Homo-oligomer: A and B are copies of this chain.
Amino acid sequence: MDILLEFLGQSGFANVTLGNLVMIAIGITFISLAIVKHYEPLLLVPIGFGAIVGNLAVAPGMSLSVYDEGSVLSYLYYGVSQGIYPPLIFLGIGAMTDFSTMLSNPKLVLLGAAAQVGIFLTLIGALYIGFTPAEAGAIGIIGGADGPTAIFLSAKLAPHLLGAIAISAYSYMALVPVIQPPIMKLLTTREERLIRMKAPRKVTTREKIMFPVGTLIICALIAPGSLVLIGMLMFGNLLKESGVTERLAQTARTGMIDIVTILLGFSVGASTQAQTFLTPQSIGIFALGAISFAIATAGGILAAKAMNLFLTEKINPLVGAAGVSAVPDSARVDQHVGQEEDPNNFLLMHAMAPNVAGVIGSAIAAGILWSVLVG
């Protein structure tokens, strides 16, 4: 009888807090949004389920949670805390990304740079609120709209905020179809939204092969901290484009990225224990994250409008919003908003250029923040 009572004292009924129940509810919400609304299901389902598991991992004296040494979850979380999973995700993304539209639209690359202003203004905002510089840098990267990059930088600069930053980044990425359209309509005129862009030119195989090598060298020289992320992204892309390593590219973009996605999503979710997650800091992070996405969107649009002052072939400023990354949702939102004005205007292929450039831009920004702010 003693054993039963003692056992019950360890059970979840005795140890789960209200905060844990809140987090479990949030996990269920994530899963529901993924299933019902189809928001980023490949991430929200693992993160949501991980959050449920993590908030049930509260038995005293048992090694269960990601923070308990020797627990299974702690081993799975190791790839997050050491920043190993994000580059492997980037490998797979590189192996599935066709950079053709960007290669045929070099000037649209600049829109992917402009949108990174969200990162740095958010950093200033986070400093203002009282976060330390390292924390502020990690929070700013939410504006990069790139989950793996956010996790990678948080692991380096502010591991204690990693859960909140990752959840914030993925939440807003899932909400891109909700967040971006009003800002896009606010900052553009109907005439601008009606602009049609010239179809991109053909891109040769040789260009596609030389692109990853050159881009890696440029980015790594200018921002060494971006080496691992961009290195893996470009490595994956070279495997895809080389024409002689298709079987490696195929594995990188299927089995390998799937395995890493499962482990990353689940263990990031499991790290959101109420005890460390439900803090005032997290609320600040979520607020700053929303601002960050808005600024980034505006930055991309305004940059497009600014470029139009000098260009004869005008850019539809809607594609600027795709510079935030959040590939490919953000580009699809551009297309959608554009078609509200003109159903025959196909912006998607144009929007993909700033979209993928934004991934590179965020990785460079992460590299800078890492080298400037690290210990």
Listed in ascending order, the chain A residues whose CB lies under 8 Å from chain B are 3, 6-7, 10-13, 15-16, 24, 28, 31, 34-35, 38, 41-42, 45-46, 49-50, 52-53, 56-59, 61-62, 64, 70-73, 75-76, 82-84, 87, 91, 209, 213, 216-217, 220-225, 227-228, 231, 234-235, 238-239, 242-245, 247-248, 250-252, 254-256, 258-259, 261-262, 266, 368, 370-372, 374-375
Which single member of B11, B220, B368 contacts A224 (CB below 8 Å)? Answer: B11
Given A11-B221, A61-B375, A235-B49, A41 contacting B244 (CB threshold 8 A): yes
Given A238-B49, A245-B42, A7 contacting B62 (CB threshold 8 A): no
Given A53-B227, A56-B217, A258-B251, A242 contacting B34 (CB threshold 8 A): yes
- Measured in the bound complex, the distance between the Cα atoms of B254 and A370 in whole Å is 36
> Which residues of the partner chain B approach A231 to less than 8 Å between Cβ atoms?
49, 53, 56
Instruction: Determine how many copies of this chain the complex contains.
Output: 3
A127 CB to closest chain B CB (Å) equals: 14
The answer to whether B262 touches A62, judged by C-beta atoms less than 8 angstroms apart, is no
The answer to whether B45 touches A228, judged by C-beta atoms less than 8 angstroms apart, is no
> Which residues of the partner chain B approach A220 to less than 8 Å between Cβ atoms?
12, 53, 56-57
The answer to whether B12 touches A242, judged by C-beta atoms less than 8 angstroms apart, is no
Chain A at the B interface: SS class: helix
Which single member of B10, B15, B73 contacts A228 (CB below 8 Å)? Answer: B73
Task: Other than A45-B242, A46-B248, give 16 A-B pairs with Cβ distance below 8 A.
Answer: A7-B368, A11-B223, A16-B221, A35-B243, A41-B242, A45-B239, A49-B238, A56-B217, A56-B220, A59-B371, A62-B225, A64-B227, A64-B228, A72-B87, A251-B258, A256-B258
> Which residues of the partner chain B approach A217 to less than 8 Å between Cβ atoms?
24, 52, 56
The answer to whether A42 touches B248, judged by C-beta atoms less than 8 angstroms apart, is yes
The answer to whether B244 touches A56, judged by C-beta atoms less than 8 angstroms apart, is no
Which single member of B7, B213, B266, B374 contacts A235 (CB below 8 Å)? Answer: B266
